[in-house]
A and B are shown apart, each in its own frame.
Chain A
């Protein structure tokens, strides 16, 4: 079945440490890829997206993601997390380039002091 997988349900990281969130997809062609962040009481905010071109994508808030076709992955990274990065992170795929998104189950990030 076609799907978006985020293997890590919950990650705890120390403030200032690096963060990597994994995302894998299982679609035949390369879809459009997105990372969103959801904070309590707020709507999902787009961190970054990949359509084509350079496989290393820079986003907002110091996040970046790398598309690896051979691994069908689009992992999100941040070199040094801040306490405000504690949130739920969702990887999403537009598999048909029709703007309909399929989301992964999400990864909850907790930041400890």
Chain B
């Protein structure tokens, strides 16, 4: 149980385009989902927290207009990287939790912006 999936697992896009990443909790309803960014050989950095049906809470320094988060249902959250640039290339990881219990992590999405 407690499986979280991400789609796509990797994506390559041209600079200036937008990319949407999906995060799904497959066997439980997640009241809260988190989005992280991980640079090579570095730690995970929390980008934002989203609760179903409400606006996401962004961490300091994360541009909310750049990284659009939608948590439309208890099993799906999406992260859209708008007008992507090469510096947005990274590994994006989501996690889902149920009423404050431990977070269950997705396998991540590798984004490469050319």
Binding site for B on A (CB under 8 A): 4, 9, 34, 36, 41-46, 49, 90, 99-106
Query: Which of B13-21, B70-78, B100-108 is near enough to bind chain A?
Result: B100-108
B44: A residues at CB distance < 8 A: 44, 90, 101, 103
Q: A49 near B102 (CB under 8 angstroms)? A: yes
Shortest C-beta distance, A46 to chain B (Å), equals 6
Secondary structure at the A interface, as helix, strand, loop or mixed, is: loop
* Interface size bracket, B side: 20 to 34
Q: Which residue of B lies closest to A92 (CB)?
A: B44
B49 in the interface (beta carbon within 8 A): yes
Binding site for A on B (CB under 8 A): 4, 32, 34, 41-46, 49, 93, 95, 97, 100, 102-108
A44: B residues at CB distance < 8 A: 44, 93, 95, 105
B46: A residues at CB distance < 8 A: 100-102
**Other-chain contact of B32, A4, A42, A99, A106 (Cβ < 8 Å):** A99
The CA of A46 and the CA of B97, in the complex, are separated in Å by 13
Q: A99 near B43 (CB under 8 angstroms)? A: no
The CA of A104 and the CA of B49, in the complex, are separated in Å by 19
Shortest C-beta distance, A84 to chain B (Å), equals 18
Please count the residue pairs between chain A and chain B whose beta carbons lie under 8 angstroms apart in the complex: 46
The CA of A102 and the CA of B49, in the complex, are separated in Å by 13
Q: A99 near B100 (CB under 8 angstroms)? A: yes
A9: B residues at CB distance < 8 A: 41
A103: B residues at CB distance < 8 A: 43-45
Given contacts A44-B93, A101-B103, A106-B41, could you give 19 more A-B pairs where the C-beta distance is less than 8 Å? A9-B41, A41-B107, A43-B93, A43-B105, A43-B107, A44-B44, A45-B105, A46-B102, A46-B103, A99-B103, A100-B34, A100-B46, A101-B44, A101-B46, A102-B46, A104-B43, A105-B42, A105-B43, A106-B43
The CA of A68 and the CA of B44, in the complex, are separated in Å by 24
Shortest C-beta distance, B31 to chain A (Å), equals 10
A106: B residues at CB distance < 8 A: 41-43
Q: B93 near A99 (CB under 8 angstroms)? A: no
